[in-house]
Structure 1
Amino acid sequence: MLRKLVLLAVAAGIVGFAIFWFVTIPATVPASALTPHTPNIENGRTMFYASGCASCHTTIGQDDRLKLGGGHPLHSPFGTFYAPNISPDPKMGIGSWTEQQFVDAMLKGTTPGGSHYFPAFPYTSYRLMPVSDVRDLFAFMKTLPAVQDASRPHDVPFPFNVRRSLGGWKLLFFDDKPFQPDPTKSERWNRGAYLVNGPGHCAECHSPRNLLGGIVTSQKFAGGPNPEGKGWVPNITQAGLKDWTVDDIEYLLETGNTPEGDTVGSNMAPVIRNTAQLSKDDRLAMAEYLKSLPAVEGPRRPSK
């Protein structure tokens, strides 16, 4: 009897492992989605700044925000992640990548080698981007300077460094459906909703996270502890911006100045350097969407 129970347990373990292995296979975008496409470089430039690529991937120690040698650390409870070289260098960067590989990375969180990316790379938001915008972004990035700096390996301890387990994380927290406009809202509101939730990935920092690192959806945009462990990220729902106008928010996205005459700093400063490069129409669209967010109370900020 005991032997049968052991055999059953082993068989169940094998079946369970096989199911886990199957459901955690890294996904890719169907090749049929990559129909003939003439890249729009200007739109690619917009997507570059909206996506904040330079905020993390700029080469450390220089001011040219178009040199994407990477190296900046992102500290988290799961380890320290280092932004890789995403310049067009064919050896150290992504210069040898195919368009398909870039699209898979952005929309599925899958590496060219067929493994899962850590969600420190915010593909959880980028997945809202249409394939055409991602292809335009790739075309723009190929026009940037090549940087020959090697990417630094992540410092992530076991068991968080087991990339296959990220397939399970994706099952819990990764919805790869593209952005769907709200037909009851204006064109500008929908543009703002896309930019904020998709390439802008604002929720990645402005939302609290659970113990597994997933965004607490009921408190999306409600602020909370800085994901890097220092400081507090503000609430950008109407609980935090109730006294701000759409113009106030647009002006902040252009200049970094608040209605009270203060200036944003810390991790928001490089974000402003990106949104300042967007058109005023796009900043107003983002502002209109943010102003429409209902008030949501976030985690209680600890008293000093």
Structure 2
Amino acid sequence: MRRWFWVVGALAAIGIGAAVYLLRPVTGPVRDLTLVGDVTRGNYLIRLGGCVACHTNNQAGTGFLAGGMGLQTQFGTFVPPNITSDPNAGIGGWTLTQFSDAMSNGMGPQGNLYPVFPYENYTLMSDQDIVDLYTALMATAPVSTPAAESQIPFPFNIRLAMAGWKNLFFKPARFVPDADQSDIYNRGKYLAYGPAHCVACHSPRNALGALDWGQALSGSPGGTGGKAPSLTPAALLEAGYDVDSLAQTLEDGFTPGFDVLGAAMGEVIGDGTSQWTLEDRQAIATYLLAD
């Protein structure tokens, strides 16, 4: 009996220790939220960050940023929420601190956020970009109709479990430029890993939906991130791209092979990259094609 007592006690201690570790808050560097936001820069970030393509359902015509179409994954169907300035249906009641916490640490007013919202990428954004984006979203036209409810089956609907997921897979940080690379390269890498979150769709994920950072931009076979091609230099060169042609494809959707990109990438181009500056399209093309 004494032996079993010690075995049970040890297992209980291990369980408690694991729970404490997995449920601890996950936070990154403190942001400077005293910066002055700029609506014009923020409106550009709305396009740069893919907010329109994700949070606007053009087919339903429910309104700009009033909630997107459901994203089907093996963990359920996630409906991007209303992020207009409406205080009830949207995020108009959020403070800048709450918005920053969601973008940087994956923690919303309702609790831990699911990683289908790419906070793994947004955490890399600069403090000024976060403040500018918040300022622009608070200036959007409010839409009082909430987005449809996500359909997430048990046990994935237990939001507290996301605390464990974050402790296992999420390391909030800020983008650090490579001092050995050019400004245009670093800008492109910042976009690909940060606000534009190319790696979120174009990288494989493990069985729990976490990005395989070691295979970033090598393509996704499907699953949580959907099916997306490789964006490695070798794959892009094989498809006939150089910096100028890739930047052009991000504007008009036409590929070097005289194809037209449609489906999800078509929406990304139409609602996002086509409205980027030429400099940003060339920057991301420069980074993606770099050896």
TM-score, normalisation: structure 2 = 0.91
Q: What is the CA–CA distance in structure 2 between the aligned matches of 1:147 and 1:108, rounded to whole Å?
A: 26
Residue 16 of structure 2 corresponds to 17
Deviations 1:161-199 (A, max 9, x none): 222222222223212111000001111111111011100
Once the two structures are superposed, the pairs formed by residues 233-272 of structure 1 within 5 Å of their partners are: 233-242=228-237, 243-272=240-269
C-alpha change, 1:61 and 1:279, in structure 2 (3 Å) is: same
Residues 75, 152 of structure 2: 8 Å contact kept: yes
Residue 85 of structure 1 corresponds to 82
Residues 201, 225 of structure 2: 8 Å contact kept: no
Deviations 1:28-76 (A, max 9, x none): 567x633422112222122211110011111454568x71111410111
DSSP-derived class of the 1:267 partner: helix
* Residues 1:184 and 2:180 aligned together: yes
* Residues 1:281 and 2:272 aligned together: no
> Match of 1:235, as an amino acid?
S
Q: Give the total of aligned pairs.
A: 288
Once the two structures are superposed, the pairs formed by residues 134-213 of structure 1 within 5 Å of their partners are: 134-213=130-209
Residues 22, 168 of structure 2: 8 Å contact kept: no
Q: What is the CA–CA distance in structure 2 between the aligned matches of 1:36 and 1:72, rounded to whole Å?
A: 34
Q: What is the CA–CA distance in structure 2 between the aligned matches of 1:33 and 1:170, rounded to whole Å?
A: 19
Equivalent of residue 68 in structure 1, options 65, 68, 71: 65
Q: What is the CA–CA distance in structure 2 between the aligned matches of 1:45 and 1:150, rounded to whole Å?
A: 22
Deviations 1:84-107 (A, max 9, x none): 111110111000000000000001
Residues 205, 227 of structure 1: 8 Å contact kept: no
C-alpha change, 1:97 and 1:290, in structure 2 (3 Å) is: same
Residues 29, 103 of structure 1: 8 Å contact kept: no
Q: What is the CA–CA distance in structure 2 between the aligned matches of 1:86 and 1:238, rounded to whole Å?
A: 35
TM-score, normalisation: structure 1 = 0.87
Residues 33, 96 of structure 2: 8 Å contact kept: no
Residue 210 of structure 2 corresponds to 214
DSSP-derived class of the 2:275 partner: coil
Residue 40 of structure 2 corresponds to 42
Structure 1 portions without partners, runs of 5+ = 295-304
Q: What is the CA–CA distance in structure 2 between the aligned matches of 1:28 and 1:210, rounded to whole Å?
A: 23
Q: What is the CA–CA distance in structure 2 between the aligned matches of 1:63 and 1:246, rounded to whole Å?
A: 36
C-alpha change, 1:170 and 1:35, in structure 2 (3 Å) is: closer
Q: What is the CA–CA distance in structure 1 between the aligned matches of 2:184 and 2:117, rounded to whole Å?
A: 28
Residues 33, 131 of structure 2: 8 Å contact kept: no
Residues 202, 225 of structure 2: 8 Å contact kept: no
Deviations 1:174-226 (A, max 9, x none): 12111000001111111111011100110111111111111222321111323
Q: Post-superposition shift, 1:275?
A: 0.8
* Residues 1:56 and 2:54 aligned together: yes
> Match of 1:85, as an amino acid?
N
Range that drifts further, 52-61 or 99-108: 52-61
Runs of 4+ with deviation above 4 angstroms = none
Q: Post-superposition shift, 1:238?
A: 1.9
Residues 21, 167 of structure 2: 8 Å contact kept: no
Aligned-residue CA RMSD (Å) = 2.2
Q: What is the CA–CA distance in structure 2 between the aligned matches of 1:234 and 1:61, rounded to whole Å?
A: 25
Range that drifts further, 244-253 or 212-221: 212-221
